[in-house]
Amino acid sequence: MPSIQNYIDGEWTDSESGDTFETVNPAAPSEVVAAYQESTASDADAAVAAAADAETGWASVPAPERGAILKAAGDVLAERKSELTSQLTREEGKTHAEAGGEVQRAVDIFHYYAQKARDLGGTVKSSSGRRTNLYTREEPVGVTALITPWNYPIAIPAWKIAPALAAGNVVTIKPASLAPGPAVSIVEALDEAGIPDGAINLVTGPGKTVGNAVIGHGRVDAVSFTGSSAVGHQVYDLATDDSKRVQTEMGGKNPTIVADSADVEEAADIVASGAFGVTGQACTAGSRAIVYEDVYDEFVDAIVDRATAIEVGPGDEYDMGPQVSEDELESTLGYIDVAKEEGATLAAGGSAPDGGRFGDGYFVEPTVFSDVSVDHRLAQEEVFGPVLAVLEVDGFEDAIDVANNVNYGLSASILTHDHTEANCFVEETEAGVAKINEKTTGLELHVPFGGFKSSSSETWREQGDAGLDFYTIEKTVYENF
C-alpha cells in the first residue's frame, strides 16, 4: 500500500503529526487504496508560507512560459491516462468509462489554459490627453487556496489549478479526504513538468483542521471552494472575514422539464443519464423530472425501464458504480425512507444490494419515485445519490414554478419541441446553466460555470475566460509623455 506525502515548496514531505489516514475502494471497502498525511494546521501554514515566498518569482515568469509548463503537465496526465483512470475508479468508485472521461477532461483543461496563458495581458484605451498612453494590465491576485471535493477528484482540481497558475498565482490545494489521489497526480505531473518550488503546494487532512487553516491564513488572497452548500457558506464567511476574494460552487436540485411535445422514450434516456450517471454524485445531477400530465404515466413507465436496466456493480465492469462512502450510502437510503414516509410511490429500485459481486460495497439501486409533491423533502433537498423524483404538472407555467421552487439554482433543462417554450424556459429558469433537449450534467470547459441562489456565492464563475477572471486583477496605467 503506497503512503502519499504532502508536497510543500517542491518537496514531498510527511506531516509533522506523523499520522496518516487511509482511503478504501468503495466497491470493496476492505481493500485499502492508499495512505495519506493526517496533516496539521502547522503543515497548512508551511504550505501557504512556501506559496507566498514563491509568489513574486512565479508571477514574473512570462505567461507563455507558464503555459508551456501547463502543457507539459497535461501531456504527463495524458501519458498516464490508463493508470489514472484505474486509480480514480478504485478510490472514488466511478465506472471506467466515467473515470476515463474525467481524466481526459483534466488533460484538456491543462492544454486549454496552457494556450489561454498567451492571451493574458490587458487592453489599450484611447486617452482624452494628446500625450498620454492609457492601458490596463492583468496581474495575478496572489496566493490562492483551493478546496476541492471528492466527486470529481481530478477534473475540479484541474479547473481550479490550471487557470490559477496560468494567471501567475501560487497555489495551495487541500483535496477531499475520500479521494485525494487524483489531485496528488496533478501535482506530480506539474512537478515533472518543471514548475518552480512553491508555486504549487498540496496538503491532505481533515477540512476542519487543514482546510480552515488554509482558508483563514493571513497570507492567502483568494479562496476557491467546491463542495456542499452547508460547508460552502462556512468557507465564504471565513474567507470574507478578512476581505479575501472568494468563489464557492455548491449543491443543486436540478430539474428536467419534460413537455408533452417531447419524444418520451428519448426523454427517458436523457433523464436517466443525468440522474443515474456517476451514481448521481454530481452537483448538476438531474434529481427532479417535472413532467406534463399528458405524458406523465408514459414517462414514468419509460424511466422505470431505464432504471431497472442499469447493471450495478464494481466500476471496472458494470454500468453504475458504488457511492463513495458508507456515510453517503446511508444518507441516500435515509432519503429513500423519508420519501416513502411522505407518501411518494417507489416505482423502481430503493434498495442496497449485497452479496455476490456487491460484497460489502456501498451500492444502491437506481431509484425512481413517482407521485412526488413539490413540498416533499425529495423535491427540495439535494440527495447526492441515484434517486429521481418525478413530479406531475399541468403545463409550462406550472412546470417553471415547480422547477424554481427550491433553494438551489445550478443546472436546469427542458425537453421540448416547442420553440416558444424553450425560449421562455431560458428566460425564466433560475439556474446558472440552462439546457434545451440535454441532460443537466455535462459541461463545456471553455464557457462559464456557476449557479444561482444557494448553489453559488454568485461572485465569480469558473472555467473558460471566467476562470481566469477570478485569478486576475486589473491595474490601469496612465503614461504621460
d(Cα 247, Cα 226) in Å, to the nearest integer?
A: 9
Is 424 known to be catalytic? no
- Binned at pLDDT 50, 70 and 90, residue 3 comes out as confident
Judge whether 3-250+456-480 and 254-436 match in fold.
no
**Helix 96-116, helix 181-193: angle, nearest 10:** 40
Mean pLDDT of 25-50: 97
pLDDT for 1 beyond 90: no
Provide mean pLDDT across the span 425-454. Answer: 97
Per DSSP, 197 falls in state T
Per-residue b or e along 5-34, where b marks 16 or more CB atoms closer than 10 Å to that residue's CB = bbbbbbeebebeeeebeebbbbbbeeeebb
Residue 342 burial (CB count, 10 A)? 16
Give the tens place of pLDDT for each residue, 366-387: 999 999 999 999 999 999 999 9
DSSP, collapsed to helix, strand or coil, labels residue 359 as coil
> For the residues of 62-108, what is the DSSP string, one character each?
-HHHHHHHHHHHHHHHHHTHHHHHHHHHHHH---HHHHHHHHHHHHH
CB contact set of 38 (below 8 Å; sequence gap of 6+): 15, 17, 19, 20, 21, 204, 205, 206
146, 183, 283, 303: the active-site residue: 283
C-alpha cell at 181: 489521489
Query: Of 339, 418, 419, 423, nearest to 381 (Cα)?
Result: 339
Say if CB 212 and CB 39 are below 8 A apart.
no
**pLDDT surpassing 90 at residue 120:** yes
Enumerate the domain spans of the chain. Answer: 3-250+456-480, 254-436
Q: What is the mean pLDDT of residues 351-357?
A: 94
- Residue % of the chain over a pLDDT of 70: 100
Share of the chain above pLDDT 90, in %: 98
Q: What are phi and psi of 301, to 5 degrees?
A: -60, -40
Instruction: Indicate if the alpha-carbon torsion angle 349, 353, 357, 361 is positive or negative.
Output: positive
Question: How far is it, in rounded angstroms, from Cα 243 to Cα 239?
Answer: 7
Residue tagged 504532502 (cell numbers) = 6
Question: CA 224, CA 231: separation in Å to the nearest integer?
Answer: 13
Whats the size of the chain, residue-wise?
Answer: 481
pLDDT at 175: 98
pLDDT at 403 over 90: yes
CATH assignment of 3-250+456-480, among 3.40.1260.10, 3.40.50.2000, 3.40.605.10, 3.40.50.1450: 3.40.605.10
Fold adopted by 254-436: Aldehyde Dehydrogenase; Chain A, domain 2 (3.40.309)
Over residues 288-307, the mean pLDDT reads 98
| pLDDT, tens only, 144-188 | 999 999 999 999 999 999 999 999 999 999 999 999 999 999 999
Pairing of strands 367-370, 387-393: parallel
What's the pLDDT tens digit per position in 472-481? 999 999 999 9
Q: 72-92: per-residue pLDDT in tens? A: 999 999 999 999 999 999 999
Cα 31 from Cα 63, distance rounded (Å): 43
For residue 35, the model assigns a pLDDT of: 98
Mean per-residue pLDDT of the chain: 97
